[in-house]
């Protein structure tokens, strides 16, 4: 035991099995074995987050918390839209579903929810959600460049 700490741990009713002059708390032989098992599991990549069922449960709970709605409300919206994007009408299938909401209703905050749940306009595919954001952000600049009305229906009087 000369190369071991050997400190008596009354609560464990055992001696410390770590190396002499170790840093940190003393551990018994069984405590070291438990720690080795946990570390080897982490090294192998065996983590709770790698469990597909646990990851799915977390994603579902996270999505609905961020949207400020329940899973039933989400499924009802999905049914109303026929399981397809509200803009392009392409069925979602296994694609990611985005919730379009009015950004002026729920300004960014430190609060966990992204929306209040009342301002969700519809469910979109990633492509339509990205394009909609782009149009909202740069639509006026593009309309001015092309010399057309913001709606793109008729040319501006100055450009004719």
pLDDT band at 160 (very low <50, low <70, confident <90, very high): very low
The string of pLDDT tens digits covering residues 1-33 is 468 888 888 888 888 888 888 888 888 888 888
Start-end ranges of CATH 3.40.1800.10 in the chain?
Answer: 71-146
CA distances from 110 to 10, 104, 106, 107 (A): 47, 16, 12, 10
Say if CB 149 and CB 143 are below 8 A apart: yes
CATH numeric code, 71-146: 3.40.1800.10
Please choose, from the candidates 75, 79, 47, the residue with its C-alpha nearest in 3D space to the C-alpha of residue 60.
75
Query: What is the predicted pLDDT for the residue at 66?
Result: 79
Query: What is the predicted pLDDT for the residue at 83?
Result: 94
Give the C-alpha separation, 65 to 71, whole Å: 10
Say if CB 103 and CB 58 are below 8 A apart: no
The string of pLDDT tens digits covering residues 96-151 is 888 888 877 876 665 566 777 788 889 999 999 999 988 888 888 888 888 887 66
């Amino acid at each position: 035991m000369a190369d071991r700490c050997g400190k008596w741990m009354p609560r464990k009713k055992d001696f410390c099995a770590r190396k002499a002059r170790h840093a940190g708390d003393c551990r018994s032989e069984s405590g070291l074995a438990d720690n080795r098992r946990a570390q080897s599991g982490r090294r192998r990549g065996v983590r709770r987050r790698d469990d597909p069922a646990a990851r799915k449960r977390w994603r579902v709970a996270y999505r609905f918390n961020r949207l400020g709605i329940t899973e039933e409300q989400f499924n009802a919206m999905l049914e109303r839209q026929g399981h397809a994007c509200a803009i392009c009408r392409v069925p979602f299938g296994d694609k990611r579903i985005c919730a379009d909401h009015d950004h002026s209703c729920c300004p960014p905050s430190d609060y966990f929810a992204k929306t209040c749940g009342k301002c969700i306009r519809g469910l979109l595919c990633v492509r339509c959600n990205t394009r909609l954001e782009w149009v909202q952000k740069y639509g006026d600049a593009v309309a001015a460049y092309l010399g057309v009305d913001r709606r793109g229906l008729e040319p501006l009087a100055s450009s004719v």
